[in-house]
Amino acid sequence: MKRILPFLKRYWGVLRRPSVHYSLGALTLGGFIAGIIFWGGFNTALEATNTEAFCISCHEMENNVYMEIKETIHYSNRSGVRATCPDCHVPHEWTDKIARKMQASKEVWGKIFGTINTREKFLEKRRELAEHEWARLKANDSLECRNCHDYEYMDFTRQSPRAAKFHSRSLGTGEATCIDCHKGIAHRLPDMRGVPGW
Amino acid sequence: MKRLLPLPLLLVLGFAIAADAPYPLDAPAPDGRRPGGTLTEEFTPPPLRDEENKDLRRERNYPEQPPTIPHAVRNYQIDINGNRCLACHSREASARTQAPMISITHFNDRDGQTLGTVSPRRYFCMQCHVPQHDVEPLVGNDFKDIDTLLYHESTSEEDE
């Protein structure tokens, strides 16, 4: 420790001294470029973790939820538009995105400690995980759904009468949000006892 | 004896192979539902149709008929975890959803006891209620409902 301290002191001295060899301009430019590289790298890393391939690189995600989504309309439909995991689970806003990524460290934790590493454990924990997602979507007024489906542009005359009736009654008034009625749109549901509306 | 056993077997088998099968193995399907097709031929299946989703309740042919489902039910989950149908058709939900409530027969168990909620034997709705598709029926049907029968009876009596 005693030997490190003077060493650090010397370096600090160097760092504090104004530059003699490089002009301020070059330094600023260098900093700028480094910034871009750093920022870009950060964003690239962020983008890479924003793909379905990344999500299902964990068997916990692939063997349970991914298998189930394959049967649903969000995996295959006549128009060929697909919703992938991040479309529904990762916010598009940058700050929200970072917040979700911080939250995702829980998943890394879960991976390491194997909280859902078998089908049985997953099924046991499913209600809890689903509740988190319901709460999140309820809180942001189903933002992820609305990124693709916008109430403003829904043509009720083209919807089935049943859908139009439910939507016009509750969406216009802001009484309910998508997730209130469309639980289990992409995956099988956990034990629904006590869930409002079930 | 044991060593002789294969012999008759061989004979029988030999005859079976030699004799022409009395019917063509590649016969057209007997049910008339695959016209021109034979058992070994494969057709491209007809395109899948969407479930009819007009939300108009259909007439029942007789009062005990389970009504057909007039709306889409794609991916509706019915299992130990939950019953999507009851989320709309149960007694508690029907006011909120304006869906017709399951009738009293759905509360009765097989001993005729009326239970507090849907009876287990009525839990799997799609055993009896089915959605419809807008396709040509494969087989014709000349079912006449009771009104048609009674009408004919009364008009033929008048004729006499």
Q: Do A189 and B82 touch (CB under 8 A)?
A: yes
Chain A residues in contact with B81 by the CB 8 A cut-off are 188-192
Q: Which runs of consecutive H residues, i.e. helices, occur in A104-192?
A: 105-113, 119-139, 143-148, 161-170, 178-181
With beta carbons less than 8 A apart as the criterion, state whether A164 and A157 touch. Answer: yes
Spatial distance between the Cα atoms of B122 and A181, rounded to a whole number of angstroms? 24
- Predicted local confidence at residue A151, as pLDDT: 87
Question: Which positions in chain A have a beta carbon within 8 angstroms of at least one beta carbon in chain B?
Answer: 71-73, 160-162, 165-166, 184, 188-193, 195, 197-198
Residues of chain A in contact with residue B77, where contact means CB-CB under 8 angstroms, are 184, 188-189
Q: What is the pTM of this model?
A: 0.86
Residue A6 reports pLDDT greater than 70:
no
- Rounded distance between C-alpha atoms, residue A167 and residue B40, angstroms: 50
Assigned domain for B16 exists: no
Which pLDDT value is given to residue B129?
A: 97
Q: For A61-65, A158-162, B12-16, which range has the lowest pLDDT when averaged over its residues?
A: B12-16
Q: Which residues contact A31 (CB under 8 A, 6 or more apart)?
A: none
Please report the pLDDT score of residue A1 as a whole number: 47
B28 DSSP 8-state letter: B
Of A162, A184, A198, the CB nearest to B55: A162
Q: How many domains does chain B have?
A: 1
Q: pLDDT, tens digit, for every residue of B94-105?
A: 999 999 999 999
CB A191 within 8 A of CB B81: yes
Structural domain includes residue B104: yes
- Contacting residues of A for B90, CB less than 8 Å apart: none
Nearest to B81 among A72, A191, A197 (CB): A191
pLDDT of residue A172: 79
Task: Assess if residue B7 is contained within a domain.
Answer: no
Let me know: does B51 contact B72? Beta carbons within 8 Å.
Answer: yes
Q: Is A3 a residue whose pLDDT tops 80?
A: no
pLDDT of B50 > 90? The answer is no
**CB-CB contact of A23 with A29 (8 Å):** no
Question: Which amino acid, B88?
Answer: C
Question: Rounded CA gap, B28 and B26, in Å?
Answer: 7
Among candidate residues A152, A136, A153, the one with its CA nearest the CA of residue A144: A136
B133 φ, ψ to 5°? -120, 145
pLDDT top residue among A1 and B80 = B80
**3-class state of residue B78 by DSSP:** strand
Query: B54 CB near a chain A CB, below 8 Å?
Result: yes
Which residue range forms the structural domain that includes residue B84? 68-131
Q: Is residue B108 included in any domain, yes or no?
A: yes
Residue B91 lies in a domain: yes
In this prediction, residue A17 carries a pLDDT of 64
pLDDT band per the 50, 70, 90 thresholds, residue A92? low
Q: Residues of B64-101 as b/e, b for ≥16 C-beta within 10 angstroms?
A: eeeeebbbbbeebbbeebbbbbbbbbbeebeeebebee
Rounded CA-CA distance B52/B73 in Å is 10
B94 inside domain: yes
Report the CATH number that the domain containing residue B113 is assigned in CATH. 1.10.1130.10
Q: Cβ contact (<8 Å) for B74 and A73?
A: yes
- pLDDT in the model for residue A194: 92
Residue B78 lies in a domain: yes
| B25 domain residue, yes or no | no
Q: Tell me, what DSSP letter sits at residue A65?
A: I
B124 CA: distance to closest CA in chain A (Å)? 16
The pLDDT value recorded for residue B34 is: 55
Q: What is the reported pLDDT for A107?
A: 83
Over range A80-102, report the average pLDDT: 78
User: pLDDT for A106-156, tens place per residue?
Assistant: 888 888 888 899 999 999 999 999 999 999 999 999 999 999 998 888 999
The residue-averaged pLDDT of B79-86 equals 95
ipTM higher than the 0.85 cut: no
